[in-house]
Structures are given as C-alpha cells and as structure tokens.
Structure 1
Amino acid sequence: MPINRDPSFIDHMPRNVAVQFFERVEKSGDREAYRYPVGESWESVTWKQVGDQVTRVAAGLLALGVEGEERVGIASATRYEWILADLAVMAAGAATTTVYPTTNAADVAYILGDSESRVVFAEDDDQIAKLREHRDQLPSVLKVVTFTGATDGDWVIGLEDLAVLGDGLLAQTPDVVRKTSESIEPEALATLIYTSGTTGRPKGVRLRHRSWVYEGEAIKSQQILSEEDLQFLWLPMAHSFGKVLLSVQMACGFATAIDGRVERIVDNLGVVKPTFMGAAPRIFEKAHGKIVTMQANEGGAKEKLFKKAFAVGLEVDRRKREGRSIPFGLKVQHGLFDKLVFSKVRDRFGGRVRFFISGSAALNQEVAEWFHAAGILILEGYGLTENAAGAFVNHPDEYKFGSVGHVFPGGEVKIAEDGEVLIKGHNVMEGYHNLPEETAKTLDADGWLHTGDIGELDKDGFLKITDRKKDLFKTSGGKYIAPTAIESQFKALCPYASQFLVIGNNRNYCVALITLDPDQVADWASHNGMEGASYTDVVSSAEMQKLIAGYVEQLNARLNRWETVKKHTILDHDLSIESGELTPSMKVKRPVVEANNAEAIDKLYA
C-alpha cells in the first residue's frame, strides 16, 4: 500500500495548539486520554475531564494577568500534571518555558530570567528551593504553582489554588478560555525550549503554534497511529522529543500512559502493554545488552538455543527484506524459535508493541535488526529542537534500517556541498531567544535550517545521518574520522558498554574512553566471584579488562586501519546527567568528558 505523502492537510490544520486540543476533546470526549500511576495502581481520565481541568487552570493563569505570548515555566519531571500545565499555558495564549528537573539552581535562574517567565509550575519542594535560592534574579515571576510541594499562601500556591482562581474568572466570563484560544495566531510563540546543548549555555528555541500543530497533523496524515493505539510516555517533557508526542496524540486521539520514572520503564511496559513508545537509543542498547548477557549467564543448552534462534531470525528477516524466498526448513525453525525465544523477548515489552520510535541520537543498525528478528520493529526518526523534534521518520510499511526515513509531508530537505543536512518547513523555529547572531548562523535568509549533521539521501529518498559536523575530526596523518559510527558499532558488539568515546583529533592514532553499564557490571560480578564488589573494583579487575579488550579487538577487525582504536581505558564511573557529562536526553557532552578525563587521555598517548 503506497504511503500517503500528500501535503494538502497543511491547508486544513487547526489554527493553533489550543484549538487542536479542544477539537480533540469535542471529538473524543468519553474516550481515555491519559492514565497515570497513583501508588501501585493507575488512574485514568477522559478527554472531557482533561478539557475541564485545562480550562480551569488556563483561566487561573488569565486571572493572574498572564497575557499573550508571555512565558510560563514548567520545572518538573514527566507526569500528568506537566501535560495539564502545558495545555493550560497554550489555552491561555501564553508560551511554555521548559526546565529539566535536573537543572541546577543557577541555570534555572538563567533560563527563567532570560525568558522573563511570569509564572512557574514547580513540581515539588526541591524545585521550589531552586527558585527561592535565586528569587532576587527572578523579578518577573509573579507566582510559583506547585504540584506536590509546600505552599506559603503568597508566592507559592498549589495547582488546585490556581484552578480555584480560574473558577472565579469563569463564573464571571464562562467563555473566556474559549475566546482566548480561538484568538491565538498560528505564528504566535507557543514554546521556549532551552536546549541543554553539548557545549556552552543553553539557548532558548522559539517554536510557534504552527510548528507543533504541523508535527501532529503530519504524522496523522501518514496513518502511522490511530485512536486505537496506546502510548507509554516516559521521555523528559522538557525535551522536544517528549513534547512532540503530545502534538501527535492530539492529532490522532490515542491514549497515553505517563510515568517519567526511568527505572520503572520495563515494569510499566509489562503492566500498561502499550502499542508504541518513543525512546532514545540508549534504552534499546541497554535492553539488548541485558537480554544477551542474561542468556550468556544461563550458559549451556539455553544459551546455544538463544544464539541459534537469533541466527535463524536474522537470516529470515534478511531474506524478507531482500525479497527472497524462505526455505521450508528455515521457516519451520523460525516458527519454533518464535514460540520458544522471540515471544519471551516481546513479552518483556508488554507483548502488544506494534513499533518503537527511536530519536534524539543515532540508533545502531545491528541493534535495530536484532530487535526486528525478535518481531519488534524500531522506527528511527530524526529532527532537532530547532524544528520541533520531527522532520523525518520511517513508516511501519516502508522503512530502512540505518536510515531515519523520509522527510515529513510538506517538508523539504537538501544536502549542502559539505554534506550538511538542511531542512525547511512549517516545523522550523522562529529563531533563538535574544540571540539574533546565533539565529543567523543556523537559519539562513531563505529559511533553510542548518542542522549541523552530515548525511546523505539515497535513491528512494531515505535520509542517512552519518555524523555530527562538529564531531568529525582529522588525525595528524590527514585521515578524517566519523567517531559516532565507530562508537555505535562498539555498543552493538559489547553488551556491557554504556558509553564509548573515540578521540584522536590531530593525534597520530585513535584512542577510546569506555564506560560500562552499572547494572550489567553488577550482574557480571555476581556470576564471576565478585558479588558485592564496587563498580570501580569490578571494572578495574583483570578479568573485566580482558573481556572488554576482546570486544575492542572485534571492533577493530571491522574498521579501516586508520580508524582502529589503538589504546583504551575504562573509566571508574559511568557518565551521568548529574555529573554534567550527559544532556538530559542522554547525549554525551564530549568537551566536558574530554576535559574531565584529560589526564587519562594523555596517558593513552604517552
């Protein structure tokens, strides 16, 4: 069946996000909109109930005097109240400023001060404390509205307190929120997302109502998702990947189960049984590594069965994608292994997943193929905060592993002379907040967004991203290295790997900094006579050093001579958001990691 890429839907899009939301409430009123955890159980709300709550909170913001395009901050982890607050901001005609809950107090003050936020939704006492610490730098903040924190009856009020304020305004003017929503222009500012960035201070990306509406309607037009789907959402809502999934939900009308606790993802999938979920590649790498090492620890016949199953699964999958026939004997084996092995892998993710969507960083092709052999499809997409997260995505009926799919209907793409991917469309940002020079560097006079990524288009229009422009480096021997491609291969080969950083700019050979997954390290230790030992002791042991060195040798066997990793070191800690070495979307801050480990790097070149 041919994929619909007709852009005519653009002429009939809802006027703005608020109108898009209230149209969904009208259309799907009694259907489930969200479910969220309360203790050990889950509570559900319909679209109509959400609409009523959003109206009350939006009216509360209007009662506080918040005006069109004025900024309202949300400093919270992913939870139902985050969505409620964001939709209320949209309905009030204001613009959401997103703040990661892990952001330190000084950066929180910078973001809220730079955005001139008038009101801030603060999740709990920890977030309130950050605001109090720098209150003298936040003269624009009239009120703080907390979800679960302590109120003071003055500067800090509760979410229900704000809704009660809204009730008062609605009693006087019942249609105030509806009229406000309908008056918002498509070009009005909807969201100010401060990119965590891998270098420098965060930059505020100005995204319009039109951008978010387009994102949702573009996915709807391709018939990827419907009202019958169920999403599990855990992604940070301060990140554009999480935010865009809300736009898709309003366009398509499916229900969303929401819980931002990363450590609960696998348990939640088993309970919620979603049909799809968005995630960063690290989640899939971690799941792949966990399953592979679990089977390796079983050993004996079970490990042999597991390996044989995936050998057969990969061969069958490869033949199908190449349009080749599958011999009867192979087909019989595959059916048996599906019952014995692959069904158990699928059950770990709830057993109903139609596909996962991978974004925010490159997904290794081998990992994608491994999951597909087990009957789990991962569709890779691509975009930046600067274009509201989505610009390309593979389709369930038309995909290529190793690619990020086709450009969205109505979008444009071209490859610059130096290989940089340029995109244009309704989803592209207005610019960076208060940074006209930075805007001019990224968004040219013809409206092309310069992504900073190197890529290539194949004959069928699928885009493949090969590396970040700024990450490419040249050895002292004059050879160009694309580190991301090498790093991705290692993480597919080594089930214990968390991060693998290739270094070698202006050096005569490449070296690597390696970190291991703490859960995998603990599991390995329990099977190798080191149960209870510290992470540092395990990764520095001769046995683990030898094990990882073997995976590096496997990697080098795949690479060109000048790309090979001559030396490596395993760091005594994993990278983390808290240490400042990872962004909240789990991208590595290379300059920070290299600066923190300069001594270790120098030793590798000694």
Structure 2
Amino acid sequence: MSSFNSPVPFPRSSSNYAHQSVEVPGTRKPGQTGHYRATAYPFLSVRSPGAFSVLTEMFDEGFKSGGNGPCFGYRPQVSQTPLKFADHYEWYSWPEVDVRRRAIGSALYTLFQKGVLGGGQLETVGIWSKNNPEWQIIDLALHAYAKVGVGLYDTLGKDSVEYILNHAEISVVFATVDHIPFLLGLAPKIPTFKMIVCMTVLSDDSKLAFSAWGKEKNVQVIDIQELEEMGAAEPVPVVKPTSDQLATICYTSGTTGNPKGALLTHGNLANAAHAQLHGYEVTGERSALSYLPLAHIYERVMALCIMSVGGRIGFSTGDPLRLLEDLQVMKPTFIAAVPRVLNRVYQAAMAASSAPGLKGKLFNYAMEVKLQQLRTTGVRTHALWDRIVFKKVGIAGLSDRILLLTELAGGSCLWWQAAADGMWFRADQRVCNGLPADIAAVRHSRRVSICHHISHGRPLTVLGMLRYGMTENGGTCTHVWPDDPTSSGTVGPPVPCSEIKLLDVPAMNYSAEDKPRPRGEILVRGDNCFIGYYKDEANTKAALDEDGWVHTGDVGEMDECGRLRIIDRVKNIMKLAQGEYVALENIENVYSACPLVAQLFVHGDSLQSYLLAVVVPDPVQFADLVSKLYGKPITPTDVTALEAAVYDPKVNAAVLAELTKQAQAEKLKGFEMIKRIHITMELFTVDNGCLTPTLKIRRKETYAKFKNELDALYELPAPASSKL
C-alpha cells in the first residue's frame, strides 16, 4: 500500500461552500489582510504526513501503479512529403522509461564527474525541443541524478537562447536536429558550451558531418543513442535528492528585458503537484495528451501529476493544426486545454444553434435547460440532452472518454476568447467583478456545450476547477471547488499548500480595509514557492520578501465565501503628466473586449496627458466596418484593400469611435481612454518580437517596433479633452 496520501478526493460531504477559506487568527497586520487558508483540506507542506517531498518519489509512485503498462507515447511519422503521421500511438512502457532515464542520468553524472561537462556554478542541462517522450525522459533523468534542467521554448528567438545558455552556464544541450546548426553557430559566444546531444538517432552521414563541424567549434556532437549506451555501460545508482535541492531554472517569458530564471527545488515542484492532486480521483484509465510547451511550468506540473498516478502521456505531433487529430487518435481521458482549443470546439458546437428547423430549436432548448441547471446547481452534465444533442458536438466525438478537462487561463492577464462572436477578453477586472452578459453567456454556454467539467487555470486541474498560479509558485495558488454554482469570475480559495494575503496598493486605491470585500496585491506563501531568481538579487528582493511571501503583481479581492477574484495588475502602472495613475494592462483588457480588436497595445508617456494605442483589427469585423464606410463590399481576404484602409483617416476615426464606445460601456475614466490610435494589419507575434513564447506582449519591444508611428501621434496637437 502506498505511503503517500495521493490523490485526495474532494470532501464533498464535509465542505462548506459558504466558507471555502478562512483567515488564520492573529495574522492581520496594518495595511494587509490576515493569512487565508483553505478549509477543505489540512495545510500541506513537504513535511506533512504522506506528502511528496522530492520528484523521484512521484516517479517511483507512478511506476508502482503503472507496472508494465504504457508510459510515454508518440505518433510515428510515416512520410515527409506530404507530411503525414500514423493513425495510432506507439508507447514506451514504464520499465523502458526507467531504463532510459537511468542510462541518460548515469552518462550525464559520469561526464560531469570527469569534467567533460560543467564549468559553471551549477550542473545545468538544457533541453531545446518540441514536446516528445525524450524531453520528458531526459527531465526524469535530471531529477534522478542531481542535475538542474533548463527548458528552452521551441519558439525562442536567437537572442533569448544565447542569453539563457550564457546566464545558466549550460555545458550540454539536448536538442532536435533542426536546432543543431544554430547551436554550433552560437558556440563561440557560449564559453561553457561543450556538448550537443541530438534527441533522435542520427544517420551515419549526418553524424560525420555534425561531428566534423563540432570539432571546428570545440563542441562534441553525439546522438541520444550514443549517450544511453555510454550510461548503460557504466551505470550509476539513482542519486536520492533532498527537498531543498534545485531541480530546474524555469525562465519566464521576459515581457521587459531579459528572461528571469526562477529557481525551483524538488520540494517546490513536488509540493505544487501534490496540491494539484487534491480533489482528484483516479478511476480507471489515466491518460493525457501533452502539447503545451514542457518549458512552461503548467505542462511540467501536469505531467508530474499524471505520472504520479501511473498514467500514460501521449505527445502531440507539435503541429497546432493537427491537435484535434492527435486527440482523436489518442483519445485521452485528460486534456489540459487553452482557450483557442476549446473555442474551436465551441464554435463547432454553437453552429448547431443556427441550424434551420427542429434541429436548431432542439439545440437551443437543450442549451437553455443546461444553462439553467449550471446556474442553480453548478452541474454541467445532463443525462438526456448530453446523450441526444451534445454528444455529437463534444471534443471531436471524444466526450465518452474525457473524464477531466482543464483550461489554461494563465493568470490575470492571458487572453480568453468568446468564440461566439470572435471577441477576445482577459480574466481581469471585468471577469472578476461580474462578467458582462454576453461574455458570461459564452463561458457558461461553452461549459455546457462541451459536455464536461471545464476548468480554467494553470496547471493540472480537477473536475470543474478554475486554477490560478504563476511560475514563481509552481503554477499553484488557488482553485475553484467542484460544482460551485456561484464561482463564475472567481479563481476559488487557496490550494492546500498555499496561504494568501492581500496587501494595500495605495497608488491604485486598493485596501485591505475596503468594504464589503478586502482588496490588494495578492501575496502567496508555501513550500511550492520558488527560492529566487538566478543571479538576480534585485528582482528576487522585489518578488520575494524576507518572510517568504511571493508578490504576484496581481490585484485581487476576497469575496464573502473566501474565494479570490483577480481584478487588476500592479505592474505596468504609469503616471500621466497631470499626475493620474493608469494601469496599462487593465486598460488593454477593457479595449480588447471590443469585437473589432484582434490585438491591442496601449502606450503612455509620463510627459503626455493622454494614451495612445496600436490596434490590430479582426479582419472579419474590420472588413465589415470598411465596407459600410466605403459603400461597397470588401471581404476579409482582400488584404490589399484592408491594408490600404488602415491609412484612411476616416477609417481610423471610425475604429477609434468603436473603441471609445467600449471604454464608455466599461466606465473608464477620461484619462484612461485612448485618444489616438495607429492601425496595422501586422499581428504581434513571437517572430517579430512583440510577444513572448507564452504570448504575452513585450512592452519595450512593441513600443520600439511602432516608435515612429506612436511618437508622431504625440507630436500632433493634444486632443481638446486631454489638455492640461
């Protein structure tokens, strides 16, 4: 019998939905609330009875449950031209994964011991690849042999890769073959760089070519088969880690300046994953599709959770356009989704609502019945209507297999999409203070139309739970309780391993004494929280105080049931020339709810009294607006006409008018409203430097890209309503 208390079912019979968290007596101080803890479970630390304290324990526990069954799987590629993948998954068993992690780990351990690798402050190992079984097996080897993993986003630009390799003093990188030429070209700029391990087996010709090229750069190039043979020939026992031993440096996206390397220990990640397993019940098959980047904390912790219960993980082909195909082929019981995936399903489902005749009427009636049930009971399923209506519009016909569906919202500032009308919005003040009717309807409709308990948050979740977290707390802070009928707009109470408090933000008029609900910056503490940023004392002190509290930069309020709502951001606040403070991200959130907006960047200057914006319009909505203005039809695919229209002052004024309507509807103050805009059809992307790999706006880089246009707008006479 397992000695670990995992997973932990949700205690429905003893849980009081009216009191989901409580303040710990005697913890209130001036300028802050007391410390809130969950009421459903005892507080969880790495020292709690039955708690996971290191990552190798989670693998070992999963191995016991998984036995000889499948562990990691992939779809074999059957042709290159055209690119085609098999209609089945091939699997590595748990014993095979264990043998491979030991072989890789033994080889790395020996190479570092002999001085072939290393030379930096830490024994760091880079992994640069799309998700695949080898990525995960390498990471497991690092857990078991006292090495520090550094995951690199597959979409990282060359400057970020160079920075991270140098900053983390990496001597060996596991990479896919397509990244090897770039790494060899970069080698002279990385003093510690000594070895590249190709994550696939190289042909003899490729091996000779890369080996010769590597010798020129003083970098050894081998493939993973060679490394595993090396480790198998000289095996080393697993090196038992401690909870305070560093496991990974997880580099955040870096919306301003260089990425920050969050230091996460074995105890941090084990505690975070264990907390995620509270409210989770294992019944029958346990399988998940991995497609979100393993360099991101969400996917890493999700994988730990699935592994710890003996489940199997199938890895996607890496092509977003094949994601639904991957789902159909694998048929997982768990999906960690992101909004754009669920919205694609939702769009297909809602198409049925406009079907002619009886079919459309039946769908709409069934939808209304389920919405009413959701609002009153929190239950998203219906015995009759799921079977005869919604089963056909579930996730690509997989509704009968999916037991668990989660949605990654990422925190207060990632995008959500109301797919019914193409409108984008964020989990921000509008969401948390009560959604507008149309947005609320979309979220409720999406929940019931997909036929399952959809949860929103990061990372692995449980039936019906919205989660909130960030890299610095292992993606683990709060979660919504299952079947909570009044939870919409909240992110729930703290998870078992976390305690939270709210700190006054005087510049934004948020106070712990606010009535009826205390408000302030969200601070979180627990064994899941990181120990600092690598080689970055200034940012560490700003994010992690002397009492161990992580300052999230998010502003929240605690409701009467002990649930947290995210209402604003502390970061990206600036002061206008007249002395008014504005929260740029919050203003972006408001304007982004306008159906005309695909993407939007708000810019302010402390020497100016008003705000500007760069607007990327939605092609469908923009084409409709331009058609009306010009009195002739222009289609969304007429790129030439749309690109010409962005320079028309009449079009610019019409777009600004629509944005102003949105701002007025959301009751923005006058100084918070955008006064002038630059319109472009060029999307903000990772490739052009405007977005991070996790799709957050890089403010400095985006301003630099549009500097000439924005500065020119400020050179115009100030709008009448903005004069000092």
- TM-score bracket, normalised by the shorter chain, equals 0.7 to 0.9
Residue 700 of structure 2 corresponds to 591
Equivalent position of 1:499 in the other structure: 599
Alignment of 1:29-44 (within 5 A): 29-39=67-77, 40-41=85-86, 42-44=89-91
* Residue 423 of structure 1, CA deviation: 0.6
Report the aligned-residue RMSD: 4.0
Task: Report matched runs for 1:219-368 at 5 Å.
Answer: 219-223=276-280, 228-259=285-316, 260-284=318-342, 291=348, 295=351, 302=356, 313=367, 316-317=370-371, 320-322=374-376, 339-340=388-389, 342-348=390-396, 350-351=398-399, 352-353=401-402, 354-362=404-412, 363=416, 364=426, 365=431, 366=439, 367-368=442-443
Aligned residue type for 1:5: Y
Q: What is the Cα deviation at residue 70 of structure 1?
A: 1.1
Deviates more, 1:357-366 or 1:53-62: 357-366
> Does the CA contact (< 8 Å) of 1:279 and 1:358 recur in 2?
yes
Cα distance in 2, alignment partners of residues 13 and 485 from structure 1: 39
User: Is residue 417 from structure 1 mapped to residue 417 from structure 2 by the alignment?
Assistant: no
* Deviation (angstroms), 1:239: 1.4
**Counterpart in 2 of 1:459?**
560
Using the alignment, how far apart are the partners of 2:74 and 2:641 within structure 1?
37
Tell me the residue number matched to 1:173.
none
**Which residue in the other structure is 1:45 paired with?**
92
For residue 433 of structure 1, give the secondary structure of its aligned residue in structure 2: coil
Measured in 1, the distance between the counterparts of 2:602 and 2:363 equals 33
Q: Following the alignment from structure 2 to structure 1, what is the Cα–Cα distance between the partners of residues 621 and 232?
A: 52
Residue in 1 aligned with 2:198? 146
User: Residues 160-175 of structure 1 correspond to what in structure 2 (within 5 A)?
Assistant: 160-170=225-235
Write the distance in 2 (CA, Å) between the matches of 1:168 and 1:287.
Answer: 49
Shift of 1:192: 0.8
Q: Is the 8 A contact 1:219 1:225 kept in 2?
A: no
- Bigger shift: 115-124 or 423-432? 115-124
Q: Which residue of 2 aligns with 1:405?
A: 492
Matched, 1:441 2:542: yes
Deviation readout 1:154-197 (Å, 9 max, x if unpaired): 70110111100011012xxxxx233x1x2x11100100112121
Decide whether the 8 Å contact of 1:226 with 1:253 is kept in 2. Answer: no
By how many angstroms is 1:560 displaced? 0.8
Task: Identify which range, 530-539 or 198-207, moves more after superposition.
Answer: 530-539
Q: Note closer, same or farther for the CA distance 1:521–1:74 as it changes in structure 2 (3 Å cut).
A: farther
The structure whose Rg is larger is 2
Aligned 8 A contact 2:590 2:666 in 1? no
1:57 equivalenced with 2:104 (yes/no):
yes
- Per-residue CA deviations over 1:322-346 (Å, capped at 9, x if unaligned) read 45999xxxx99x9669845x44442
Partner Cα separation in structure 2 for residue 198 and residue 410 of structure 1: 28
Query: Residue 54 of structure 2 contacts residue 270 of structure 2 at CA under 8 Å; is this kept in 1?
Result: yes
Q: Which residue of 2 aligns with 1:131?
A: 183
| 2:161 match | 108
Unaligned runs of 5+ in 2: 1-11, 16-39, 78-84, 417-425, 432-438, 458-466, 506-519, 627-632, 717-724
Deviations 1:42-73 (A, max 9, x none): 21222222112212211221232358961111
Letter in 1 for 2:231: G
Look up the SS of the partner of 1:102 in the other structure. coil
The structural deviation recorded for 1:395 is 3.6
- Residue type matched to 1:186 in 2? S
The alpha carbon displacement at 1:225 in A equals: 6.0
Shift of 1:220: 1.7
Structure 2 distance, partners of 1:207, 1:595, is 33
* In structure 1, distance between residues paired with 2:664 and 2:281: 39
CA offsets 1:257-301 (integer angstroms, 9 cap, x no match): 21233232233233333333224445556665x559x94xx9975
Distance in 2 between residues matched to 1:554 and 1:450, nearest whole Å:
35
Residues 500 and 80 of structure 1, relative CA distance in 2, 3 Å threshold: same
Deviation at 1:140, TM superposition (A): 2.5
Structure-1 separation of matches of 2:651 and 2:290? 35
Q: Is the 8 A contact 2:112 2:123 kept in 1?
A: no
Q: 1:393 aligns with which of 479, 485, 510?
A: 479
Kindly tell me the number of residue pairs found equivalent between the two proteins.
584
TM value normalised by structure 2: 0.71
User: CA 1:319/1:74 → structure 2, altered by over 3 Å: closer, same or farther?
Assistant: same
Q: Which residue of 1 aligns with 2:510?
A: none
Q: How far does residue 520 in structure 1 lie from its aligned partner after superposition?
A: 9.6
Deviations 1:519-547 (A, max 9, x none): 9999999xx76486438736948999899
Cα distance, 1:577 vs structure 2: 1.0
Contact 2:162 2:186 in 1 (8 A): yes
More helix by share: 1
Partner of 1:560: 667
Asked if structure 2 preserves the Cα contact closer than 8 Å seen for 1:235 and 1:242, the reply is: yes
Corresponding letter in the other structure for 2:408? S
Letter matched to residue 407 of structure 2: I
Moved more, 551-560 or 244-253: 551-560
Residue 302 of structure 1: how far off its partner (Å): 4.5
Q: CA deviation at 1:357?
A: 2.6
Which residue in the other structure is 1:534 paired with? Answer: 639
Instruction: Please say if residues 337 and 408 of structure 2, whose CA atoms lie closer than 8 Å, have aligned partners that are also in contact.
Output: yes
The higher relative CO (CA closer than 8 Å, separation ≥ 6) is in: 2
Aligned to 2:135: 82
Match of 1:117 in 2: 170
User: Is 2:46 the partner of 1:7?
Assistant: no
Give CA-to-partner distance per residue, 1:352-408, whole Å, 9 cap, x none: 443223232444453533312423423332222112222222243347222222212
CA spacing shift, 1:509–1:450, aligned 2, 3 Å: same
Aligned AA for 1:13? A
Q: 2:237 aligns with which of 177, 185, 197?
A: 177
Using the TM superposition, give the Cα deviation of residue 421 of structure 1 relative to its aligned residue in structure 2, in angstroms: 0.9
For residue 572 of structure 1, the aligned residue among 681, 696, 699 is 681
Deviation of the 1:599 alpha carbon = 3.9
TM-fit CA distance, 1:105: 3.1
Distance between the aligned counterparts of 2:367 and 2:623, measured in 1?
30
Which residue identity lines up with residue 403 of structure 1 in the other structure?
A: T
Name the TM-score, length of structure 1 as normaliser.
0.84
Partner letter of residue 110 of structure 2?
A
Distance 1:534 1:422 in 2: 47
Structure 2: how far apart are the matches of 1:299 and 1:538? Answer: 34
Q: Secondary structure at the match of 2:538?
A: helix
- Cα displacement (A) at 1:583: 0.9
Instruction: Give how far 1:410 is off.
Output: 2.6
What SS class does the counterpart of residue 684 from structure 2 fall into? coil
Indicate if the aligned counterparts of 1:276 and 1:357 stay in contact, CA closer than 8 A: no
- C-alpha contact 2:553 2:570 (8 A) present in aligned 1: yes
